[in-house]
A = this chain, B = another copy of it.
């Protein structure tokens, strides 16, 4: 992926604990929040001591940073690609494909940032993500900054973050095969982000 790996072949167990801790921490951060997760909880859930957590990560914030960075790196590549493309319907459609894949792969990371990003300002990776979101919006909706387009983008982002994590809690009726979720998500996000040609003026009220 996007991590520095001097010699991947000869590092079998080397960073096993580090990876386990990252995975456990991500689940906790997304489920109960960064502030609501204690280092002790993470350590217990991963089967280590609190001291071990602080051995692998210099601080709780650094742990959050490392946990979210791979997702932000991936998003950055997507935004770069979108920004350097022609604004055709074709490139837009390609972007949506990539974006959906990103949402599905990093759903916990996205949920963590979307739900708590505003309260975690000052942490490196959070600010970086915030800047990326701004770049993404301006790349998507060029100059016209209409209210409706802003809301459409926010709904797509916040809605996906909620649906893919918290939503599954309330609608666990079907564990919907991944591919089915993907198609549904793509359909809805496309509706929201694509410049829909004709939209009836909501009936007179």
Please list the residues of chain A having a beta carbon within 8 angstroms of any beta carbon in chain B.
Answer: 31-36, 89-90, 93, 97, 114-119, 130, 133-134, 137, 145, 147-148, 150-163, 166-167, 169-171, 173-174, 176, 180-181, 183-188, 190-192, 194-197, 199, 201-205
Majority SS of interface residues in chain A?
helix
Give the shortest distance, in Å, between A101 (CB) and chain B (any CB). Answer: 12
Are B89 and A205 in contact, CB atoms less than 8 angstroms apart? yes
Contacts of A115 in B (CB 8 A): 115-116, 162, 166
Of the A-B pairs whose beta carbons lie under 8 Å apart in the complex, a sample of 6, sorted by A's number, is: A36-B36, A130-B170, A137-B170, A137-B171, A159-B162, A196-B199
A130 to B167, CA, bound (A): 11
Are A145 and B162 in contact, CB atoms less than 8 angstroms apart? no
A201 to B90, CA, bound (A): 14
